[in-house]
Amino acid sequence: MSTATTASVSTHILDTSVGRPAEGVPVQLSARGGGAVPWAALGGSTTDADGRCKDLPALPEGTTHVRLAFETEAYFARRADFVQQAEAQQDAPANRDSGAFFPEVVITFAVKPGEHYHVPLLLNPFGYSVYRGS
């Protein structure tokens, strides 16, 4: 819940290689109040069947920067069949590792008090994209 003195954050993950939500991805939330202040780990959540984290911790008052760390390696290890399908569709040689190319995705962004920030992650075995959603 957002107030005039705090920002709030939500996220979800869509696995674009299969066109489905990415379930079971651990997400860690950290925050800081200013560029020179150390990061404070606030806790985390795991994506549900809809690829959403519905219980991320609240941001402390004075937060100016937020970091979301998505632990994607274990997700892709569980989804090895989809990784193989995605590799088969690539134009590059087939002798690549079948492990996660991005074992984690870390997104850092600035926030302002009273605003809500929904930051979706569009993920596939060989790339990702993020944006500020609504």
Domain-located, residue 75: yes
Query: In a 3-state reduction of DSSP, which class is residue 82?
Result: helix
Which residue range(s) make up the domain with 109? 8-130
Domain-located, residue 3: no
The CATH number assigned to the domain holding 55 equals 2.60.40.180
Model pLDDT for residues 94-125, shown as the tens digit of each residue: 545 556 789 999 999 999 999 999 999 999 98
In total, how many domains does the chain have?
A: 1
Model pLDDT for residues 37-77, shown as the tens digit of each residue: 999 999 999 999 999 999 999 999 999 999 999 999 999 99
Does the pLDDT at position 2 exceed 70?
no
Domain-located, residue 1: no
Least-confidence region, from 17-26, 53-62, 74-83, 124-133: 74-83
CB 100 within 8 Å of CB 76: yes
CB 57 within 8 Å of CB 50: no
Neighbouring CB atoms inside 10 A of 9's CB total: 23
